């Protein structure tokens, strides 16, 4: 088990050894995780890796074949969804089209027979918090995608759940609005101090929003940690590639480092394997006109991509991708020195595919 998973059952939300199969499909294969109270936790992975199934099991909408779910130390594995202190915001928002925004948000409280004055107080507080007060009497079809998304959030938050589950709630938004909502969501979570569990296949969303994230693949958690930990130290080539661009360099172990197609690269640590892969992010490769003291590679620029704040270069011998940190344009055909500094090289546990 990954050291970051370290589940304790006395606080927060814990899933232990969860397995779930649909016919021949293994959706979840021994998943163990602990989410601390007040943490923004993200389940990140490609389509079909089991994220939604895990979220549904936490919500009580699906029963695991084996394993347990704990909340605040209590075993809630078999507790019906309605009795859990958990609310879910779905991808589709699932708003009631015939009800006003106010009534959509009030719905959960009305069905739990809250007095009118209390409903008014709570709904107005959420309308205000999510900047929806002027839209209270509109119907869902009169709102934009981003506004509907905020109503779905308000509707879940009005119930004051201990845990808020978010199933790809931003996937229907365009890129600009999405970035805005990601920041809003993060701020909202900090302000409320509640536990948020987000499901997404978007790595930048996971990096922006989360205190910690779990990268999932084929029903298993492959790595769990803070965005920095996972981005800076991916354990294998899948995580390295999934969390943004990475140069994966096949190599064999040599005294003090590894032998690659670009020559010898010194490493700070010995790899555990004889043949394997080292990775380096495009932004961690140094670029200059002088040969570096160690781990220098002479390379020719083959392609340049303008990214607004910087340039991405493709180089030969390669494929190597370098992200410059400046506006300086380097023309294709030019030869440069690259520095793949030992401290920036990550030793992966597997061979890149
Ligand atoms: P996506 O990002 O596409 O929503 P996901 O990571 O959330 O994917 P799940 O929806 O949890 O993945 O599905 C995991 C696997 O289980 C998939 O192979 C899926 O086809 C399968 N699966 C999920 N629900 C069912 C079901 N009710 N019946 C049969 N197979 C299912």
Residue nearest to atom 30 of ligand 1 (CA): 22
The pick from 18, 26, 27 for probing ligand 1's pocket by mutation, whose C-beta has the most ligand atoms within 8 angstroms, reads: 27
Residues 6+ positions from 91 with CB-CB distance below 8 Å: 167, 168, 169, 171, 172
The pick from 15, 18, 22 for probing ligand 1's pocket by mutation, whose C-beta has the most ligand atoms within 8 angstroms, reads: 22
Residues 6+ positions from 108 with CB-CB distance below 8 Å: 87, 155, 158, 159
Ligand 1: centre distance to CA 63 (Å): 14
pLDDT value of position 307: 81
DSSP at 41: E
Per-residue pLDDT of the chain (353 residues; tens, 9 = 90+): 444 444 555 578 999 999 999 999 999 999 999 999 999 999 999 999 999 999 999 999 999 999 999 998 899 999 998 888 888 887 777 889 999 999 999 998 998 899 999 999 999 988 988 888 999 999 999 998 888 888 988 898 888 888 999 998 777 777 777 887 788 888 888 988 889 999 999 998 999 899 999 999 999 999 999 999 999 999 998 999 898 888 898 999 999 999 998 889 999 988 989 999 999 998 898 988 899 999 999 988 888 888 877 788 888 887 788 887 666 778 888 898 999 999 999 999 876 54
pLDDT value of position 327: 64
**Which residues on neighbouring strands pair with residue 306, listed in sequence order?**
311
Q: In what order do the strands lie in the sheet with 195-200?
A: 86-89, 163-167, 195-200, 40-44, 212-217, 220-225
Query: In Å, what is the CA distance from 331 to each residue of 285, 300, 302, 303, 334?
Result: 18, 10, 8, 8, 6
Cβ–ligand 1 distance for 25 under 6 Å, the answer yes
Residue nearest to atom 19 of ligand 1 (CA): 48
Ligand 1: centre distance to CA 91 (Å): 14
pLDDT value of position 215: 97
Residues 6+ positions from 211 with CB-CB distance below 8 Å: 39, 40, 41, 226
pLDDT value of position 5: 47
Question: Do the strands 286-288 and 247-254 form a parallel or antiparallel pair, or are they unpaired?
Answer: unpaired
**Which residues on neighbouring strands pair with residue 39, listed in sequence order?**
none
Ligand 1: centre distance to CA 323 (Å): 36
From the alpha carbon of 62, which atom of ligand 1 is closest? 27
Cβ–ligand 1 distance for 49 under 6 Å, the answer yes
Question: Do the strands 195-200 and 163-167 form a parallel or antiparallel pair, or are they unpaired?
Answer: parallel
């Amino acid at each position: 088990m990954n050291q970051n998973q370290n589940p304790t059952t006395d606080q927060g939300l814990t899933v232990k050894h969860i397995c779930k199969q649909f016919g021949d499909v293994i959706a979840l294969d021994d998943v163990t995780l602990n989410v601390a109270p007040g943490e923004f936790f993200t389940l990140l992975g490609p389509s079909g890796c089991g994220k939604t199934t895990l979220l549904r099991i936490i919500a009580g909408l699906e029963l695991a074949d084996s394993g347990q779910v704990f909340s605040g130390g209590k075993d809630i594995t078999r507790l019906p969804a309605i009795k859990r202190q958990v609310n879910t915001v779905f991808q589709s928002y699932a708003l009631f089209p015939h009800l006003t925004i106010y009534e959509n948000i009030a719905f959960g409280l009305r069905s739990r027979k809250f007095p009118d004055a209390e409903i008014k107080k709570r709904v107005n507080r959420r309308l205000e918090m999510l900047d929806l007060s002027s839209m209270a009497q509109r119907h869902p079809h009169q709102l934009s995608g981003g506004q509907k998304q905020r109503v779905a959030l308000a509707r879940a938050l009005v119930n004051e759940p201990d845990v808020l589950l978010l199933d790809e709630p931003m996937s229907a938004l365009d890129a600009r609005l999405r970035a805005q909502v990601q920041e809003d969501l993060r701020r909202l979570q900090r302000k409320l101090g509640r536990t948020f569990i987000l499901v997404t296949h978007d790595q930048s969303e996971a990096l922006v929003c989360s205190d910690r994230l779990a990268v999932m693949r084929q029903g298993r958690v492959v790595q769990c940690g803070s965005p920095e930990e996972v981005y800076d130290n991916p354990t294998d080539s899948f995580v390295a590639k999934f969390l943004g661009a990475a140069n994966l360099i096949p190599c064999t172990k040599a005294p003090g480092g590894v032998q690659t197609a670009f020559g010898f690269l010194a490493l700070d640590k010995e790899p555990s394997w004889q043949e394997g892969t080292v990775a380096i992010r495009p932004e961690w490769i140094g670029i200059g006109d002088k040969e570096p003291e160690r781990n220098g590679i002479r390379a020719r620029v083959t392609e340049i991509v303008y990214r607004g704040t910087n340039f991405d270069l493709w180089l030969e011998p390669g494929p190597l991708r370098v992200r410059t940190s400046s506006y300086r344009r380097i023309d294709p055909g030019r030869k440069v020195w690259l520095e793949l500094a030992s401290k920036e090289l990550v030793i992966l546990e597997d061979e890149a595919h």
